[in-house]
Amino acid sequence: MPSNKSVSEAPITQFINCRILKDHKLQREDLWVREGKILDPEKLFFDEEGFADIRVDCNNSIIAPGFIDVQINGGYGIDFSQATDDVSGGVALVAKKILEHGVTSFCPTLVTSPPHIYHKVLPEIKVHDGGKEGAGVLGVHLEGPFISLEKKGAHPEQYLRSFQTGGTQDLLETYGRLDSVSILTLAPELPSSQSVIRELTQRGIAVSLGHSVASLSQAEEAVQQGATFITHLFNAMLPFHHRDPGIVGLLTSDQVPPNRTVYYGMIADGIHTNPAALRIAHRAHPAGLVLVTDAITAMGLPPGRHTLGQQVIEIEGLHAYVAGTKTLSGSIATMDMCVRHFRQASGCTVEAALEAASLHPAQLLGISNRKGTLDYGTDADFVLLDDALNVKSTYIAGQQVWKK
């Protein structure tokens, strides 16, 4: 008999009495974890004759992959687009707080800002795994400043830019560096944007189309060059028109290269998108829907005035407006709220609602081999929920990091 001494001595945890989201279905089986990864129990029994050191009774909870928020501007008084004295401390505070919403990793998002802000903030946001101290950082989402003046939304006009030199030079002048960037939102109708999209895609950065007046053919061209995402569908883009559906038309376009999925963000807070529009998008292209909070500083804060980048924002109920206007500027919704609202508004399955906050963002970022599923060998980042999809506890690398 071969010796099993090479087998890990690390403790094995078995989560019992649960339904786990696997292969797009809630399945009644146990979840096995060792050294921060999800284990294949069959291999464990047959190859190692192993057994559980710790058993956790989940009381019939749902276990889903941890939520991934690819568009969050801040929260709890922290604004990622402010060059404070302690940028990393601000990111860490938000990372800690969003554990209670089931978020195990996220992309801190910077809205349109002057170059000196990017040059100060970007070097201080490090990509890292999550843990007890907070959700992991998957890279920065840069939203702007290469966007359309007509669809600037809450982005300050004086800092918008176009591509002058045809690409890379503009990016480096504006941002200073791109090594910690995972997503970049731009308007594909800007001159030279196609070569920029190619360049960014080659660097492994996901290009998102947004804050744009692009026609469908301009959007299709951008996708052919490598763009894979749409920033908050319906918001800050031309409304759907039957003769030229614009960016929205990508959901059913026949010009998307084969084997490619176009993903699209939805702010399912009940305010940014009418439930009927949410249903239209979901029914047209369910595999591409990515729930995002687009949360701002004021998430988790009382009503009143707060900042978003260089703007002042006013909170009224669940609405966040640019002060003195009725322009929406991000949301104060949490990810678990978005999951519940999306499920209720779309009538989709529990599985679809959970995958829109976990599997799809992981696929968009190209990390579904380690995040966004409960497949064997992936990171044991997951969330326990009740049947109404309220978060009961959050785990990162198999360790409980938050409990209700």
Q: Mark out the alpha helices in 5-132 (DSSP H runs).
A: 41-43, 87-97, 115-121
In this structure, what are the phi and psi dihedrals at residue 295, rounded to the nearest 5 degrees?
Answer: -70, 150
SS3 of residue 101 by DSSP? helix
328 is in an annotated binding site: yes
- Residue 138 labeled ligand binder: no
Does 85 participate in catalysis according to the annotation?
A: no
The annotation status of 187 as a binding-site residue, yes or no, is no
Structural contact between residues 145 and 205, judged by C-beta atoms closer than 8 angstroms: no
Confirm whether residue 74 is marked as ligand binding. Answer: no
Is position 211 annotated in a ligand binding site? yes
- Cα gap 340→336, rounded to integer Å: 6
Q: Is 330 annotated as a binding residue?
A: yes
The candidate with the shortest Cα–Cα distance to 274, out of 326, 239, 324, is 239
DSSP of 260-315: ---EEEE--SSSSS-HHHHHHHHHH-GGGEEE---B-TTTTS-SEEEEETTEEEEE
Dist CA 370 CA 66 (whole Å): 11
* Catalytic entry in 269, 294, 379, 381: 294
Backbone angles phi, psi at 17, to 5 degrees: 60, 55
Cα 340 to chain centroid distance, Å, stands at 16
Six-digit token string for 272 = 């940014």
Residue 154 annotated as binding?
Answer: yes
Instruction: Give the pair of three-digit tokens for residue 392.
Output: 């009961």
Is 236 labeled as ligand-binding? yes
Q: Is 329 annotated as a binding residue?
A: yes
- The residues annotated with a catalytic role in the active site are 294
In the annotated binding site, the residues are 143, 154, 211, 232, 235-236, 243, 272, 328-330
In the annotated binding site for substrate, the residues are 154, 235-236, 243, 272, 328-330
In the annotated binding site for Zn(2+), the residues are 143, 211, 232
